[in-house]
Amino acid sequence: MRTPSRNWPAETLPEIAGELPLNQTFSIAIDGPAGAGKSTIARAAAERLGAMYLDTGAMYRAVGLYFLRRGLDGDVRTVAEHVSEVRVSVKPEGDVQRIFLNGEDVTEAIRTPEASLAASHVAAVPEVRERMVALQREIAKGYSIVMDGRDIGTKVLPDATLKLYVTASPEVRARRRHLELIQKGEEMPFKQVLAEIRERDYNDTHRAASPLVQAEDAHLLDTSNMTMEQSLGEVERLFREAIGG
């Protein structure tokens, strides 16, 4: 039997992952813009394939929150000089990935629109990306893993078993985000949500350090008109192709 991932017992490994050679690990890199559904797809795919899941965007949100609280998230020089003070750790808890910032559980605090924009600001700082990429690579060593973010296929896991670029139209992504906010009891006009999505897209694709791009060998997955089950079905199909199944 293959060695299971650190998060999932051996009996959860489905047939599709069992097609891999004995003790061989795999990695799936999922990149894409905010609100495309990549985190939901990555988390579900990891569960189905018996792999570890890592939400790298949450790690950048934690860094953004650190400097946002100090009113410095837009000060590139200060962020670069003080990023060494930021300690981010990840702890799986059931089906939730809890994020800790200097020992504080900030899993919920990093999910605000303000933290999202702060993450976009600090993610453009080379020193921040260098620190996070190194940490993400370290976490991935020796384990089957599904990772999503903005530069997974291009920087973090350039040799991933499967690379995906998950996207959707800005309007669709804004509607999804707007619904999430409503469900949380937060009020924000749809136009504002759409404007923030577009601002995030611009920041992510125009930063000098590891801009958001589709890796040359990544498969494009547009979820604009797809259900979650359809999206997962496509991921499984592409994974079978990648492992020669």
| Extents of the domains making up the chain | 26-239
Position 1 scores a pLDDT of 25
What's the CA gap between 129 and 85, in Å, rounded? 14
Q: What is the 3-state secondary structure (H, E, C) of 179-236?
A: HHHHHCCCCCCHHHHHHHHHHHHHHHHHCCCCCCCCCCCCEEEECCCCCHHHHHHHHH
What tokens appear for 112 in the block?
Answer: 């605000």
Q: Is the pLDDT of residue 4 over 70?
A: no
Is residue 46 left, alpha or beta, with left meaning phi > 0 and alpha meaning psi from -120 to 50?
Answer: alpha
What tokens appear for 211 in the block?
Answer: 């801009």
Position 14 scores a pLDDT of 44
Q: Which residue has the higher pLDDT, 97 or 31?
A: 31
**Cα 74 from chain centroid?**
22
Confidence of residue 16 (pLDDT cuts 50, 70, 90): very low
Query: Does the domain at residues 26-239 carry the CATH identifier 3.40.50.300?
Result: yes
Position 96 scores a pLDDT of 80
Position 68 scores a pLDDT of 96
What tokens appear for 89 in the block?
Answer: 């750790």
CB 54 within 8 A of CB 99: no
Give the highest mean pLDDT range of 53-57, 182-186, 220-224: 220-224
Give the mean model confidence (pLDDT) for residues 22-32: 85
**Which of 81, 76, 55 has its CA nearest to residue 203?**
76
Q: Which residue has the higher pLDDT, 34 or 66?
A: 66
Instruction: With residue 169 as reference, give the H or E element that holds it.
Output: none
Is residue 35 left, alpha or beta, with left meaning phi > 0 and alpha meaning psi from -120 to 50?
Answer: left
Position 12 scores a pLDDT of 34
Instruction: With residue 213 as reference, give the H or E element that holds it.
Output: none
Query: Could you tell me which residues come within 8 angstroms of residue 145 by beta carbon, excluding any fewer than 6 positions away?
Result: 5, 25, 27, 28, 46, 51, 52, 53, 54, 139, 157
Give the mean model confidence (pLDDT) for residues 8-26: 50
Q: What does the DSSP 8-state code read for residue 152?
A: I
Position 59 scores a pLDDT of 94
Q: Is the pLDDT of residue 8 over 90?
A: no
What tokens appear for 207 in the block?
Answer: 């930063």
Position 95 scores a pLDDT of 72
Position 2 scores a pLDDT of 31
Give the mean model confidence (pLDDT) for residues 4-23: 42
Position 71 scores a pLDDT of 93
* pLDDT single digits (tens) 141-192: 888 999 999 899 999 999 999 999 999 999 999 999 999 889 989 889 999 9
Position 239 scores a pLDDT of 94
Q: Is the pLDDT of residue 226 over 90?
A: yes
The mean of the pLDDT values for the chain is: 87
Position 94 scores a pLDDT of 74
Q: How many Cβ atoms are within 10 Å of 169's Cβ, its own excluded?
A: 15
What tokens appear for 182 in the block?
Answer: 């409503």
Position 169 scores a pLDDT of 96
